[in-house]
């Protein structure tokens, strides 16, 4: 089955205003959060993320994961406040920054290209940095998907065997019930004939004594018939439940086949397109929503990566999920 990724939010204070970064996971790094916030406010410069707790401050490094820090604090996480602090201009602006604050630089080229604008070049450099990580994530998702598809196929085969066994058992019980009904009918006829014969030959008390064993036998046969009826009813319920489960499994297979066809079509389009189309379409973008001011930026988030096809392919297309910010 498909791996479903859970995303969370993180509140960060930027210049006294609380902003919420959406689409985060436990593996989202501090650098990703800083880049998303810097792009959302539209200001260039060098930023650091500060963790404040009970009057103490700690500067987080680029590889720190904010949500993991909150999880480690436990009940104290409610008192934590994250603050985005601007430490100075970017290196491309010609100004040097202190060495202790150079842990989280915004992605950019060391030698600016005079032909291209600065902002698209920074976004492109950031996407290339995440390509290897997204390939690893896609490979893991493919392994999970293949594993669960094998488990699904085994479950479907087991359900088929169970359904076949239930069908045979139901037919066997039905045959036994019909046989018992036939025997009970013959016993009733025999009882009737014997009662008539004995009533014509003996007094009124002898037929009752002669019929008592036959009545007991008939009662036992009727009880067996009732028990078989109950067993047949339970077997039919189990059979219907197994058929419903099998139908659900087939619907799940259909959904997986649809997603596989979509992945194959996407890969075909990307492989037949030009180099520029491969470069620009390999990563998706999402909107970073601010109050009354929507912006469109390519924001990374590794946990919302799309699933690739199950078949082996020479190249996996990197799919990067998005981080959106809102007030």
Residues of the domain holding 45: 8-151+284-326
Tens of pLDDT, residues 155-184: 999 988 888 888 888 888 888 898 898 888
Asked if 116 and 145 sit in the same domain, the reply is yes
21: exposed, middle or buried (C-beta count within 10 Å: 0-12, 13-18, 19+)?
buried
Asked if 29 and 111 sit in the same domain, the reply is yes
Residue 171 lies in a domain: yes
The total of other beta-carbon atoms located within 10 Å of residue 130's CB is 19
Judged against a pLDDT cut of 90, whether residue 313 lies above it is answered with no
Asked if 91 and 191 sit in the same domain, the reply is no
Q: Contacts by 275-279 with C-beta closer than 8 Å and gap 24+?
A: 279/124
Tens of pLDDT, residues 193-210: 888 887 776 555 556 777
Asked if 54 and 69 sit in the same domain, the reply is yes
Model pTM greater than 0.85? no
Tens of pLDDT, residues 111-162: 334 333 333 333 333 333 345 566 777 888 888 888 898 999 999 999 888 8
Judged against a pLDDT cut of 80, whether residue 307 lies above it is answered with no
Number of domains, the chain: 2
At 148 the three-state DSSP class reads: helix
Give me the helices (H) in the chain, please: 30-41, 66-73, 118-201, 205-272, 275-281
The total of other beta-carbon atoms located within 10 Å of residue 128's CB is 12
Asked if 312 and 295 sit in the same domain, the reply is yes
18 and 91 Cβ atoms separated by less than 8 Å = no
Tens of pLDDT, residues 232-283: 999 999 999 999 999 999 999 999 999 999 999 988 998 887 554 444 444 4
Asked if 139 and 175 sit in the same domain, the reply is no
d(CA 187, CA 77): 80
Residue 321 lies in a domain: yes
């Amino acid at each position: 089955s498909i791996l479903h990724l859970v995303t969370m939010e993180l509140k960060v204070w930027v210049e006294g205003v609380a902003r919420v970064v959406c689409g985060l996971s436990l593996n989202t790094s501090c650098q990703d959060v800083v880049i998303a916030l810097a792009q959302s406010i539209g200001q260039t410069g060098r930023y650091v993320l500060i963790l404040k707790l009970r009057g103490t401050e700690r500067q987080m490094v680029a590889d720190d994961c904010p949500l993991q820090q909150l999880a480690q604090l436990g009940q104290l996480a409610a008192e934590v406040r994250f603050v985005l602090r601007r430490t100075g201009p970017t290196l491309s602006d010609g100004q040097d920054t202190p060495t202790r604050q150079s842990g989280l630089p915004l992605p950019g080229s060391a030698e600016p290209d005079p032909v291209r604008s600065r902002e698209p070049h920074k976004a492109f450099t950031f996407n290339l940095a995440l390509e290897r990580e997204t390939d690893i994530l896609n490979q893991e998702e493919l392994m999970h998907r293949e594993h669960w598809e094998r488990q699904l196929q085994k479950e479907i085969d087991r359900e088929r065997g169970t359904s076949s066994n239930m069908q045979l058992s139901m037919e066997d019980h039905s045959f036994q019930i019909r046989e018992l009904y036939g025997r009970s009918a013959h016993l009733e006829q025999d009882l009737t004939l014997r009662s008539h014969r004995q009533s014509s030959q003996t007094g009124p008390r002898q037929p009752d004594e002669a019929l008592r064993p036959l009545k007991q036998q008939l009662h036992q046969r009727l009880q067996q018939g009732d028990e078989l009826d109950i067993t047949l009813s339970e077997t039919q319920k189990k059979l219907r439940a197994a058929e419903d489960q099998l139908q659900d499994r087939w619907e799940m297979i259909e959904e997986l086949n649809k997603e596989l066809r979509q992945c194959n079509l996407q890969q075909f389009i990307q492989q037949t397109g030009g180099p520029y189309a491969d470069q620009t379409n390999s990563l998706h973008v999402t909107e970073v929503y601010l109050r009354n001011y929507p912006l469109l930026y390519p924001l990374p988030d590794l946990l919302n990566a799309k699933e690739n096809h199950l078949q082996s392919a020479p190249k996996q297309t990197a799919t990067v999920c998005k981080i959106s910010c809102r007030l």
